[in-house]
Structure 1
Amino acid sequence: MIESQKIEAVKNVESEATIVGALMIENKLIDRVADRLSADDFSETLFGRIYSAIVKEAALGRAANPVTLKPYLHDDPALVELGGIGYLANLTASTGAVLMLETCVQQVIDMAKRRKLIDGLTQAAMLAADMDATNEEVVGAADAALSSISDHSDGVVQVSAAKAFDEMLAAYAEQAYGVTSGGQIDCLDQVLGPIKPHHLDILAGRPGMGKTSAALSYALGAAAAGHGVLFVSLEMNRLELMQRATSDVIFDGRAGIPYEAIRDGRFTSDNAKRRVYEAGRVFRDLPLNLIDASSLTIGRLNMLVRRYKRRMEAAGQKLELVMVDYLQLLRPDFRTDNMNLAVSEVSRGLKAIAKQYDVGVLALAQLNRSVESRPDKRPMLSDLRDSGQIEQDADAVVFLYRDEYYLRQGKPPETDPKFIDWSAALERCEGNIDFIVAKRRNGPSGTATGRFFGAYQAVRGAMQ
């Protein structure tokens, strides 16, 4: 463990005193630091309380000085011990404090991050000593501690409107304002629009609706269009995922090599083998990375996204889209038996990843079983499983629905008079997959119909 005296050294009370003194001398400096410095950054809690009082007074448009701060602090035991309001007056005695403000603020912020890191890693070390804890939980706790001190961990970015406008124009010029399937699923691209940086979009459905197939087809199309994609699979291992992807890449909209043949290694001709090897060359050129994880915390995912973002940048690529299959299999960084709480924490964590790393996030999600008990099985927002927080965090929610799936489950005997009507209904919807945009922030909802090619585990737009 870290020696206590070394931990004690990760603070500078004099710098903290200088900050509150300088801000009482020159209130106009408060705006320069208020968006970067919080009361929790002070190691000496008294200075944190003084700082909070200063910020509150300034927010009310009033002067913040030893006299006006008296109502906040007159009975504060720590301040009384140091001499009460007279101590505040002493803090304003040195005009040199103003000149030292920026240096002291940066030092206090840096030391606060270090203390936070020490606390987090200490907790991780204690968890490592707990034999009931899994290795994944230990690694997740350590990763969460590391990510908490990242350059953008405060989540606050301040720019002028002019600079933000320039950034918008630059994004247009680079054609980087969002990711689409590159025309792979053109009907979805049209009704949903691009998945933009900082956005969390949800692709949800019941089992059997084709969520993974749709997500993988989208990822392959986006990567083929030059967008850097990270596909995180918690449900399937990388071998199964690659077998599906290979069948999808070979499929040309009319014919290909069935997924089951690729899965089982059953190739009917040398030409089929050749096409599989040709698919390998396609994958080598794609800016697509896969993560195969049977268990993953949101903190661990945060660290993996950071790692792959840097790795792709080193390869001359830009990570633009993170896809997660699927949301409810991710775990929070703490233990809980409350699934609603767990899913809420994961949902917020995915939204934070989108903002922190300037990427779009497309997360698959399961729907409640209650869908199956309704005559009309088209999903609704209330069907999102375990948490309304998903709907709140999401910038868009798209449901997948296949009428064919439910019709086949209710197939009547051929001798039944209903068989003719059933056959006609099946013919109308066979191969169709509906993309129901139930929520789209700052945009209309709507429905688009694409094509699901189950034999090839591929999804395409209706126009193809």
Structure 2
Amino acid sequence: MSVNDLQLWNRTPPHDEAAEIAVLGGVLTDNDQWAEVSDLPSEAFYLGRHRTIWQAITLIMAGGKGVDLVNLTGVLERQKGLGRDATMLDEVGGMSYLIGLGERVPFAYRTAQYAATVRDLYARRLLLAHGLRVMRAEAGVEGEPLATADLQDLAASVPMPAAKPSSHVVTGAAADQGAIEYVKMLASGNSPALKTGFPDLDTVFCGFHPGSMTVVGARPSMGKSSLAIGIAERVAAKGRFVQVLSLEMKASQIAMRQLCHAARVRLQDALSGQASETDLGRLVSAAERRALNGLPNYLDQPDTTLQAVERLATHLKAAQRLDLLVIDYLGLISVPGRDGDENDTQKLGIISRGLKTLAIQLDLPIVVLHQLNRSLESRPNKRPKMADLRQSGRIEEDADNILFVYRDEYYNKETDQQGIAEIIVGKQRQGPRDTTARLKFHSDSATFQSLASDSSLL
């Protein structure tokens, strides 16, 4: 460790005294601000006197009373301080310091913003402390150095400030009223669920609801990636923000397929350098048209961890630029300490549970692709079933919806279903299961199109 490194570790931990004072004084000045900042733990305050004052405020507010200088002073006076015959009121600086809190608040209505600063700096202190723990564990300061896999697990488990506690108890009557309001919203055409954009599929599939995780499963070369991208583009064309995490194909490769399909240019001609001037003109026109419609954003990063997915989604959601997250595919997400295991059932279970939790926390629909077991290849009827999901137990339990992609022409060259793909709804919490929709599959561009309407050509 260099001298500069030592200086970094020995510096004063990040904090903002003025922001801490503004939060304390903001609540004292305007008790209505408490509802916006009550989730802030006392540990978020770096200065000890501020932690003590916040604990006293929390105690008073938890009792259903408003806080003011009188009752705050009383609570602190009744608590014994560290010094002989001293009270906690003495420890925090006395009545004069409490009075000064209110006087040093720039704008009480911005208390939540000041609290966000305090919370962010608390998260940074937690992160720094965690980094030090990892360094100590690697060096074996308190015992034997941790094995590399265990050290990776420790490094990945970055602590975060506790979330705001909330009550999830709902009375039966309130639940009924909520259900009625939901039905009214659906009847008015204001469903919160995102449609796939394929009319044939939307007649049997009830869409991607906020907080849901949908698994799209298929054997290789069936078109699961193409279906997911087709859905992503149709959702984006409706003005929604869609983020695609492509862990298998580069964004340019995905765009090539979709663009050629929209321009009615043979993908093979484009890739082999045989595209004519007319073809190029069509591609340019299609790109301009598609840009006006709205398109998904892509992140083509082959080595992406579960934690990186969580950070990206949280950031985009906070910026109000994420309505649908599509991940291609589940098995390529890394979990530090778990990658390379002979049996990756536990790893896939961790990823599945993590993505479902992320969907709930962000109130966000997530679509994740997953490969099926090759055992179905030995059956006469090769249409997928729930048991065909690789390491299906955890994934089947976490998923709200499961869609399977099947093309009979892949196995049966003499089938009368040439160019037809079956989208089998194996599971959906908001509608019927074991139903099937049929879509047109263009093998030359590996893209899907609705049989019901030509308008699905974007």
TM-score, normalised with respect to structure 1: 0.64
Shift of 1:224: 1.4
2:252 maps to 1:239: yes
- C-alpha deviations, 1:23-60, integer Å up to 9, x for none? xxxxxxxxx99x958999999xxxxxxx9xxxxxxxxx
Match of residue 278 from structure 1: 285
Aligned pair count? 368
- 1:205 and 1:366 in contact (8 A); partners too: yes
Matched to 1:460, the amino acid is Q
Task: Kindly report which structure 2 residues correspond to 1:200-219, keeping only aligned pairs within 5 A, or say none.
Answer: 200-219=213-232
Matched to 2:309, the amino acid is L
Shift of 1:277: 0.4
Give the unaligned 5+ runs of structure 1: 11-31, 44-50, 52-81, 83-89, 251-255, 409-422
- Select between 231-240 and 332-341 the one with higher mean Cα deviation: 332-341
2:454 maps to 1:451: no
Matched to 1:116, the amino acid is L
Task: Kindly report which structure 2 residues correspond to 1:387-406, keeping only aligned pairs within 5 A, or say none.
Answer: 387-406=392-411
Match of residue 363 from structure 2: 358
Task: Kindly report which structure 2 residues correspond to 1:407-418, keeping only aligned pairs within 5 A, or say none.
Answer: 407-408=412-413
- C-alpha deviations, 1:282-316, integer Å up to 9, x for none? 343314201101110011112222344456x4xxx
2:155 maps to 1:178: no
Shift of 1:402: 1.1
- 2:244 and 2:325 in contact (8 A); partners too: yes
- C-alpha deviations, 1:95-146, integer Å up to 9, x for none? x9xxx9xx9xx8998887455323444467789999x999xx89x968x74x
Matched to 1:433, the amino acid is A
Shift of 1:456: 2.3
- C-alpha deviations, 1:186-238, integer Å up to 9, x for none? 22222111201111001101002111111111111111122221111101112
Aligned-residue CA RMSD (Å) = 5.1
Task: Kindly report which structure 2 residues correspond to 1:29-40, keeping only aligned pairs within 5 A, or say none.
Answer: none
Task: Kindly report which structure 2 residues correspond to 1:350-389, keeping only aligned pairs within 5 A, or say none.
Answer: 350-389=355-394
Matched to 2:192, the amino acid is Y
Give the unaligned 5+ runs of structure 2: 17-34, 47-54, 56-81, 89-94, 96-100, 102-110, 140-144, 454-458
Match of residue 427 from structure 2: 439
Report the Cα distance in structure 2 between the residues aligned to 1:380 and 1:177, rounded to whole angstroms: 28
Shift of 1:173: 7.7
Matched to 1:392, the amino acid is E
Match of residue 349 from structure 2: 344
- 1:233 and 1:326 in contact (8 A); partners too: yes
For residue 197 of structure 1, give the secondary structure of its aligned residue in structure 2: coil
1:290–1:164: structure 2 CA closer, same or farther, 3 Å change rule? farther
Shift of 1:278: 1.1
Matched to 2:442, the amino acid is F
2:131 maps to 1:116: no
2:306 maps to 1:329: no
Shift of 1:431: 1.2
- 1:397 and 1:440 in contact (8 A); partners too: yes
1:231–1:440: structure 2 CA closer, same or farther, 3 Å change rule? same
1:452–1:39: structure 2 CA closer, same or farther, 3 Å change rule? farther
- 2:14 and 2:124 in contact (8 A); partners too: no
Report the Cα distance in structure 2 between the residues aligned to 1:164 and 1:3, rounded to whole angstroms: 52
Match of residue 234 from structure 2: 221
Matched to 1:263, the amino acid is L
Shift of 1:435: 1.1
Matched to 2:301, the amino acid is A
- 1:258 and 1:456 in contact (8 A); partners too: yes
2:298 maps to 1:290: yes
For residue 222 of structure 1, give the secondary structure of its aligned residue in structure 2: helix
1:438–1:170: structure 2 CA closer, same or farther, 3 Å change rule? closer
1:179–1:274: structure 2 CA closer, same or farther, 3 Å change rule? same
Match of residue 154 from structure 1: 163
- 1:202 and 1:397 in contact (8 A); partners too: yes
Match of residue 27 from structure 2: none
For residue 353 of structure 1, give the secondary structure of its aligned residue in structure 2: helix
Matched to 1:178, the amino acid is A
